[in-house]
A and B are shown apart, each in its own frame.
Chain A
Amino acid sequence: MSKNKSHVVTARPRKMSFLQKVVKYRVLLLMCLPAIVFFFAFSYLPMPGAYVAFTSYNYRKGIFGSEFVGWDNFKFLFESGKIWLLTKNTILYNIAFILLGNLLAIFMAILFNEIKKKIFKKTAQTIMFLPYFISDVLVGLLIYNLLNSDFGFVNSIITSLGGKKISFYDNPNIWPGLIVLINLWKSTGYNTVVYFAAICGIDQEIIEAARVDGANGFQKIRHIILPSLKPTFVILLLFAMGGIIRGNFGLFYNIIGSNSMLFKTTDIIETFVYRATVNDFNFQTASAVGLYQSVFGFILVVVCNKIVSKIDPDYSLF
Chain B
Amino acid sequence: MANTQKAVKNKIKLDKSDKIIRGFSYVFISIFALACLLPFLLIIATSFSTEGLIRKTGFTIIPKGFTTYAYNLIFENPMNMLGSYAVTVSMAVVGTGVGLFVIAMTGYALQRKDFPFRNAISFYIYFTSLFSAGLAPFYLIMTKFYHLKDSYLAVFLPLLMTPWLIILMKNFIKSIPHEITESGKIDGAGDMKIFTALILPMVKPALATIGLFLALGYWNEWYYSSLFLSAQVDYKPLQYNLYEVVNKIQALKNSVAGSYVSFDNLPQETLKMATAIVATGPIILLYPFVQKYFIGGITVGAVKG
Contacts and interface: CB of A to CB of B under 8 A. Distances in A.
Q: Which of B28, B105, B160 has the most CB of A within 10 A?
A: B105
A185 to B, nearest CB: 7
Contact of B21 (A21, A27, A120, A217): A217
Contacts of B15: 216-217
Q: Which of B108, B135, B222, B239 has the most CB of A within 10 A?
A: B135
Contacts of B288: 126
B106 A32 contact: yes
A127 B128 CA distance: 34
Interface stretch (B37-45, B79-87, B203-211, B257-265): B37-45
Contacts of A273: 134-136
A221 B276 contact: no
Interface in B202-237: 216, 219-223, 226-227
B121 A217 contact: no
Given A124-B33, A153-B60, A50 B133 contact: yes
A45 interface: yes
B116 A133 contact: no
B247 interface: yes
Contacts of B124: 36, 39
A188 interface: yes
Interface residues of A, number: 110
A293 B103 CA distance: 28
B303 A236 contact: yes
Nearest to B294: A129
Contact of A133 (B12, B190, B284): B284
Contact of B135 (A189, A193, A212, A286): A286
A67 interface: no
A45 B59 contact: no
Given A42-B157, A130-B37, A216-B17, A141 B272 contact: yes
Given A115-B29, A257-B247, A31 B17 contact: no
B220 A135 contact: yes
A126 B238 CA distance: 24
Contacts of A295: 131
Contact of B287 (A130, A270, A277): A130
B141 interface: yes
Contacts of B16: 216
B138 A35 contact: no
B90 interface: no
Contacts of B186: none
Contacts of A92: none
A146 B141 contact: no
B299 A197 contact: yes
A120 B140 CA distance: 51
Contact of B59 (A36, A156, A250, A257): A156
Contacts of A46: 132-133, 137-138, 140-141
Contact of A137 (B58, B103, B117, B242): B242
Contact of A278 (B61, B227, B299): B227
B139 interface: yes
A193 B29 contact: no
A97 interface: no
Interface in B132-166: 132-141, 144-146, 157-158, 160-161, 163, 166
Contacts of B161: 35, 38
B214 to A, nearest CB: 13
A287 B134 contact: yes
B216 A137 contact: no
Given A35-B161, A130-B36, 4 more contacts: A31-B109, A35-B103, A38-B157, A145-B46
Shortest 3 CB-CB contacts between residues of A and residues of B: A290-B134, A156-B58, A49-B137
